[in-house]
Amino acid sequence: MKVAFCKYESSREAHSNVSDVLDGEDIDQVKELEEEFASYVDAKYALATSHGTAALHLAMLALDLKRGDKVVCSVNAHPSVPEVVRHFDAEPVFIDIDAQTYNINLDKLEAYLEDNKAKKLKAVIITHVAGLCADLSRLYAMATIYDVKIVEDASEALGATYKGKKIGSTGADITCFNFSSHLKKDVCNGGMLVSNSEEIITRARLLSSHAMVRDEDSLEYVYDVTDIGFDYSMSQLDAAYIRAKVGEQDANLERIQEIAQMYNKALDGVNHISIPKTNAEHPYSLYIIKVDKNRDSFALELKKHGVEVGLHYIPLHFLSYYKHKYLLKVNNFPIALTTYQQVMSLPIYASMQNKEVQYVIDKVKAVAATRV
């Protein structure tokens, strides 16, 4: 048997929406998606983008990031996070992680903010690893105290909640979603920028289409350009497909919870394996286990048995560009270093069959039994 790390799921609704586009139906799929998404996460405004990275880049543009500004982020994030900062010739600042959640360490973040007041700090980008949130109440309080914007990277947090409220409506200045996130490539690409700030969304919408403005009473081909923007637009086909995906997300998360509980029950107490820290609101968008030694050999053994696994993430200070650009040492972030050597993400998605879940469990147990 082979169990893929992820599979795309194409529903009847997705086929119907895509057919509407191909048949030339007079439906603005992008506008419909934006309205439905804002309603889904209970936010005032949503702006569709071509990809999750585009949403993050547009967020930096909307915040008027400039050369020399500083943006703080976790050292355990996808490279797209510091990448969008560097495109503005601004500086990413890396913070070590929490050993249990793999999210940014709020104690270390607060210490950094306290020591670097008024030094061109512009924002903090918070990545919700596996969809599990940090203590957002504390984070937002820190943002107020130190006068920084909060941008949430919710690539793995679609449908996730914090104190009962969906991510996207909990208090961030901007939240960015990715519909084809790292190692979970889908048949479409798309992102979403969400905000409750009319000022931010107005600027983002202007800049998302080359900062072109038109007089509605004039001819369509007459336009002006009022700023430096870019093309971040989502296609009608992508929007049609993603509309169905969003509509099915809550049901999919229920199934993922079932799979996560199967993993939890079967793998808890297995020698050499640690299961994720439990949390009533953990969406398990990723199911991350720790292997106490020889993680890569463990993963290779699983691969031989047809079980694909992932890694979230390679710490940013291990990557050549950032390592050399900022003269970073591997032991600069000791918690991220130790975590990186141990974690792996097991397959988990709504279309997994119970027999596939059991197969993964059996193979993880079998490989773990060979460890000494």
Integer Rg of the chain from CA? 21
CA dist., res. 356 & res. 214, Å (int): 54
Report helix, strand or coil for 280.
Answer: coil
Closest Cα partner for 188 from 290, 50, 17, 346? 50
pLDDT of residue 119: 75
Compute the average pLDDT of residues 170-187: 92
Compute the average pLDDT of residues 190-196: 98
CA dist., res. 100 & res. 119, Å (int): 31
Counting residues of the chain whose pLDDT is more than 70, the rounded percentage is 100
| pLDDT tens digits along 129-171 | 999 999 999 999 999 999 999 999 999 999 999 999 999 999 9
Cβ atoms of 59 and 203 closer than 8 Å: no
DSSP-derived pairing of the beta strands 121-127 and 149-153: parallel
In the numeric block, the tokens 């397959």 are attached to 347
pLDDT of residue 218: 85
pLDDT band at 39 (very low <50, low <70, confident <90, very high): very high
pLDDT band at 72 (very low <50, low <70, confident <90, very high): very high
| pLDDT tens digits along 248-276 | 999 999 999 999 999 999 999 999 999 99
Partner residues linked to 166 by β-bridges: 161
pLDDT of residue 223: 92
CA dist., res. 323 & res. 314, Å (int): 12
Closest Cα partner for 131 from 307, 345, 361? 345
What's the chain's length in residues?
372
CA dist., res. 266 & res. 274, Å (int): 11
CA dist., res. 357 & res. 354, Å (int): 5
- Domains of the chain in start order, with CATH, are 12-243 (3.40.640.10), 250-369 (3.90.1150.10)
pLDDT of residue 217: 83
Report helix, strand or coil for 176.
Answer: strand
Compute the average pLDDT of residues 92-107: 97
Residue 9 or residue 318, greater confidence: 318
**Any idea what DSSP says for residue 97?**
B
Cβ atoms of 255 and 262 closer than 8 Å: no
pLDDT band at 216 (very low <50, low <70, confident <90, very high): confident
| pLDDT tens digits along 194-214 | 999 999 999 999 999 999 999
Q: What is the DSSP string of 131-154?
A: G----HHHHHHHHHHHT-EEEEE-
Listed in order, strand segments (DSSP E) in the chain are 45-49, 70-74, 91-95, 121-127, 149-153, 161-162, 165-166, 174-178, 191-195, 212-213, 224-225, 273-274, 287-291, 343-346
Look at residue 185 and tell me whether its pLDDT is greater than 80: no
Look at residue 179 and tell me whether its pLDDT is greater than 90: yes
Cβ atoms of 137 and 287 closer than 8 Å: no
275 — phi, psi (to 5°)? -90, 170
Amino acid of residue 129: V
Report helix, strand or coil for 207.
Answer: helix
DSSP-derived pairing of the beta strands 174-178 and 149-153: parallel
Counting residues of the chain whose pLDDT is more than 90, the rounded percentage is 91
Listed in order, strand segments (DSSP E) in 256-328 are 273-274, 287-291
CA dist., res. 355 & res. 349, Å (int): 13
pLDDT of residue 9: 79
Report helix, strand or coil for 265.
Answer: helix
Cβ atoms of 280 and 163 closer than 8 Å: no
Look at residue 118 and tell me whether its pLDDT is greater than 70: no
Whole-model pTM: value is: 0.96
Compute the average pLDDT of residues 71-96: 98
Mean per-residue pLDDT over the chain, rounded: 95
Cβ atoms of 183 and 195 closer than 8 Å: no
Look at residue 238 and tell me whether its pLDDT is greater than 80: yes
In the numeric block, the tokens 């031989």 are attached to 304
